[in-house]
């Protein structure tokens, strides 16, 4: 098909008992101009303009058990051979326009429910840069985040306010005070904490911001506090404004639940970096033959305009293999159609000990490294906890082993003694 139309592509991992060519054509049809009725005269023009096309099929090894059940396939006879393939489909840009919900309805949408497939995962998307430009994209990204926090040449060391929920505004301010006294770079709310009656958003902000300002005056840079503003559209906008007015430098949002249109709306008006908490993401990715790869996921959120995105941690408390975590972080750094990179945020079960592997595997310090227990549970206290994280990264960057570096760095020594056996 020769065509001058501008296209974006989606790549899938597909499993089906049917021939892969047929499945690929079904997908292309369903997600564009499928289910045709004859229209006088216009049919060819319509097809030329709107029909998606299959651009690649790479057959993989087949399996004998379906990954996901399909009542449709069972009604049509069942099978004991399920083909797998990577397929790529090209869609006309004009089918969608600069509309994330329609982009997702097109590249994902009903596909996961197709009776013909026993597995379907969106592996990647790609698009021309002049199409990507029509979306907002990150306003701050990695460089803007670093500028705002005054942290350069090393990772941003951070933590999460714990307990997750239950602290009064005054208790929160006291913890923030201890963390800032330790020269921390970054603090975030827990995603469970938004606006409870015993610690309303406004009161927390009022209690916390003077503490941060006090330390900023002392430190010559302002610790970045990602305050959870998740809520209704009006709440998020007014909370963004309140954070800004109070001198805050970041807002956090549970992106999967407030959704793409809400984040885009916030992005258009934000004057602060958007810290994207991906809680819920596991439901979309944990089965390898279903849902979304992180590569595709982070691209779509970059289009929507987030600046920082969670990627779990290596040797974390979560299910995810370390290789997958590293691949996620790398994808946040990778160029995508001219859309600027976002800051990967490592957390869960983190302490100074992961620094060398992170640096070696990632080859970059453009990241946030968040430790909860790894800072607060340090035997020398919070200040030693933060220091141990920084020392871990100093060792990693200078290529010295943690054990050697710890000889002259007691905070790191304490961390190794406390967390190193685990």
CB of 403 to a second copy, least distance (A): 21
Residue 376, phi-psi category: left (phi > 0), alpha (psi -120 to 50), beta (remainder): alpha
CA torsion through residues 269, 271, 277, 278, sign: positive
Q: Of these, 11, 51, 378, 409, which contacts a second copy (CB under 8 A)?
A: 51
Mind giving me the DSSP string for 81-105?
Answer: -EEEEEEEEEEEGGGT-S-HHHHHH
Q: Which residues pair with 253 in a beta bridge?
A: 276
Under the binding rule (CB under 8 A), the answer on residue 6 touching a second copy is no
CB of 135 to a second copy, least distance (A): 10
The interface with a second copy within residues 87-116 (CB under 8 A) comprises: 94-97, 99-102, 104-106, 108-115
| Residue 55 or 316 with smaller CB distance to a second copy | 316
The answer to whether 292 and 120 are in contact (CB under 8 A) is no
Under the binding rule (CB under 8 A), the answer on residue 283 touching a second copy is yes
d(CA 221, CA 157): 14
Structure tokens at 142: 């990695």
| Residue 86 or 195 with smaller CB distance to a second copy | 195
Q: Please report where in the chains the tokens 């590293």 appear, as a residue.
A: 326
Q: Closest Cα partner for 176 from 199, 198, 154, 197?
A: 199
The answer to whether 159 and 346 are in contact (CB under 8 A) is no
Q: Closest Cα partner for 189 from 177, 178, 205, 170?
A: 205
Under the binding rule (CB under 8 A), the answer on residue 72 touching a second copy is yes
| Residue 142 or 376 with smaller CB distance to a second copy | 376
d(CA 314, CA 349): 8
Under the binding rule (CB under 8 A), the answer on residue 147 touching a second copy is no
- Site track for a second copy across 15-44, x = CB under 8 A: ---------------xxxxxxxx-x--x--
Q: Of these, 128, 144, 150, 282, which contacts a second copy (CB under 8 A)?
A: 282
Q: Of these, 163, 247, 338, 363, which contacts a second copy (CB under 8 A)?
A: 163
CB of 49 to a second copy, least distance (A): 6
Rg (CA), the chain: 24
- Site track for a second copy across 201-230, x = CB under 8 A: -----------------------------x
| Residue 75 or 408 with smaller CB distance to a second copy | 75
Q: Of these, 290, 367, 368, 402, which contacts a second copy (CB under 8 A)?
A: 290
Q: How many CB atoms lie within 10 A of CB 94?
A: 12
Q: Which residues pair with 85 in a beta bridge?
A: 14, 59
CB of 148 to a second copy, least distance (A): 24
CB of 74 to a second copy, least distance (A): 9
* Total of residues contacting a second copy (CB under 8 A): 103
CB of 248 to a second copy, least distance (A): 19
**In degrees to the nearest 10, what's the CA dihedral of 258, 260, 264, 265?**
-50
CB of 413 to a second copy, least distance (A): 22
The interface with a second copy within residues 234-273 (CB under 8 A) comprises: 234-236, 253-254, 256-265
């Amino acid at each position: 098909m020769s065509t001058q139309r501008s296209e974006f592509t989606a790549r899938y991992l597909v499993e089906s008992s049917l021939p892969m060519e047929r499945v690929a054509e079904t997908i292309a049809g369903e997600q564009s101009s499928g289910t045709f009725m004859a229209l006088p005269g216009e049919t060819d023009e319509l097809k030329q303009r709107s029909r998606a096309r299959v651009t690649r099929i790479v057959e993989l090894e087949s399996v004998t058990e379906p990954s996901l059940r399909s009542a449709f396939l069972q009604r049509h006879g069942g099978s004991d051979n399920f083909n797998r393939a990577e397929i790529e489909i090209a869609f006309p840009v004009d089918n969608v326009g600069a509309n994330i919900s329609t982009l997702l309805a097109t590249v994902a949408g009903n596909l996961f429910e197709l009776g013909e497939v026993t597995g379907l995962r969106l592996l990647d998307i790609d698009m021309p840069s002049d199409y990507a430009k029509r979306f907002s994209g990150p306003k701050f990204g990695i460089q803007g985040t670093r500028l705002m926090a005054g942290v350069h040449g090393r990772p941003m060391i951070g933590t999460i306010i714990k307990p997750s929920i239950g602290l009064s505004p005054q208790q929160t301010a006291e913890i923030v005070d201890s963390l800032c006294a330790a020269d921390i770079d970054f603090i975030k709310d827990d995603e469970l904490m938004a606006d409870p009656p015993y610690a309303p958003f406004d009161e927390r902000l009022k209690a916390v911001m003077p503490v941060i300002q006090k330390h900023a005056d002392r430190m010559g840079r302002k610790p970045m506090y990602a305050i959870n503003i998740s809520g209704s559209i009006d709440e998020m906008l007014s909370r963004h404004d309140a954070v800004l007015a109070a001198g805050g430098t970041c807002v956090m949002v549970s992106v999967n639940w407030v959704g793409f249109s809400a984040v885009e709306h916030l992005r258009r008006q934000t004057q602060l970096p958007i810290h994207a908490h991906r809680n819920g993401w596991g439901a979309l990715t944990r089965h390898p033959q279903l849902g979304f790869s992180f590569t595709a996921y982070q691209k779509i959120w970059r289009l929507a305009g987030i600046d920082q995105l969670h990627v779990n941690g290596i040797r974390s408390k979560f299910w995810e293999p370390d290789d997958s975590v590293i691949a996620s972080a790398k994808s946040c750094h990778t160029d995508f159609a001219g859309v600027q990179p976002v800051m990967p945020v490592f957390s869960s079960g983190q302490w100074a000990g992961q620094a060398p592997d992170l640096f070696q595997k990632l080859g970059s310090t453009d990241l946030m490294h968040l430790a909860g227990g790894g800072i607060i549970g340090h035997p020398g206290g919070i200040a030693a906890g933060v220091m141990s994280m920084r020392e871990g990264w100093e060792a990693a960057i200078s290529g010295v082993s943690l054990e050697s570096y710890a000889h002259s760095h007691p905070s790191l020594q304490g961390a190794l003694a406390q967390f190193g056996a685990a």
